[in-house]
Amino acid sequence: MIRTKKQGLLIVLSGPSGSGKNTVCDVVKEKNSNIWESISMTSRKPRKGEKDGVNYYFVTEEEFKENIKQDNMLEYAQFAGNYYGTPRKSVQKHLDKGEDVILVIEIQGALQIKKKLPQALFVFLLPPSMRELKRRLTDRGTESEDKILKRFETAYREINEISKYNYVIINDEVSKAASKLLAIIKAERCRVDRIEEVFLDSLEEKIHETLVDKDLENKNIDVNKI
């Protein structure tokens, strides 16, 4: 049997505010129970209905800065006037368990991860149009008009960085976008470089032994029986 690497896959999902990243991620997690979503830390105030330790770890700006100082963050960024970041330890723990870990984060943080861990999977989610993006941001009703405008401007800048990602998905329908992301994850798990090196080495050795073994000359090699 071919063995794939025990370590899970790190998936980075970005896209402008209002592209539907969290909704798509929720559907993906529902369909694939081996995916764990990291809980970010933020200095932003909780929105109505958001819970500490569920949606985010809500901290003060000082507490956030202290976590940066202690090197507790895998990445972090300032977005729309607040700090956001991924706590390092929990991500590592889940990857080591062999679970795939998904980070739903903005682009500055994604690029920091790309520098540190280029083997991670980088997926960018796009809204069907900028008009639709503006409609989604306005309809959400969670932000003031100037904040919506700021997020909309940021969206334009973020879309320019799309070429730094491995895949792009247009989110015109949540279920379709989620299916595409699941397919990308499945394909990524089949990559040759995810087959355990130890196993490849011993497989190569055994094939070699078999080939030079005179008794077995002219016999078919069944790789599954080696």
Is beta strand 100-104 parallel, antiparallel or unpaired with respect to 35-37?
Answer: parallel
Q: Give whichever of 82 and 202 is closer to ligand 5GP, judged by the CB atom.
A: 82
Cβ proximity to ligand 5GP, 9 vs 38, nearer residue = 38
105 binds ligand 5GP (CB under 6 A): yes
Q: For residues 40 and 171, which CB has a smaller minimum distance to ligand 5GP in the complex?
A: 40
Contacts for 143-152 with beta carbons within 8 Å, 24 or more apart?
Answer: 147/80, 150/80, 151/16, 151/17, 151/18, 151/80
Indicate which single residue of 11, 77, 126, 155 sits in contact with ligand 5GP (rule: CB under 6 A). 77
**β-bridge pairing 73-79 and 82-87:** antiparallel
| Per-residue CA distances from 85 to 7, 13, 46, 88, 137 (Å) | 22, 14, 15, 9, 22
Token pair of 129 as six digits: 């149009």
Scanning 73-81, 179-187, 191-199, 218-226 for contacts with ligand 5GP by CB under 6 A, the matching segment is 73-81
Rounded CA-CA distance 223/226 in Å is 5
- Minimum distance between the CB of residue 74 and ligand 5GP, rounded to whole angstroms? 8
Neighbours of 130 (CB within 10 A): 14
Q: Which is nearer to ligand 5GP, 77 or 169 (CB)?
A: 77
Q: Is there a contact between 101 and 91 (Cβ–Cβ < 8 Å)?
A: yes
109 belongs to the binding site for ligand 5GP (CB under 6 A): yes
Binding-site member from 8, 20, 85, 127 for ligand 5GP (CB under 6 A): 85
Find the binding residues for ligand 5GP in span 144-173 (CB under 6 A): none
| Rounded CA separation 90/80 (Å) | 25
Closest residue by Cα to residue 182 from 8, 40, 30, 22: 30
- Shortest-Cβ-distance residue relative to ligand 5GP: 109
Sequence-distant (≥ 6) Cβ neighbours of residue 153 within 8 angstroms: none
Residue from the set 28, 59, 64, 86 that interacts with ligand 5GP by CB under 6 A: 86
| Least distance to ligand 5GP, CB of residue 211, Å | 51
Would you say 22 and 131 are in contact if contact means Cβ atoms under 8 Å apart?
Answer: no
18 binds ligand 5GP (CB under 6 A): no
**Of residues 20-59, those binding ligand 5GP (CB under 6 A):** 21, 40, 44
**Of 29-37, 98-106, 123-131, 198-206: span binding ligand 5GP (CB under 6 A):** 98-106
Interface residues toward ligand 5GP, by CB under 6 A: 17, 21, 40, 44, 75, 77, 79, 84-86, 104-106, 108-109
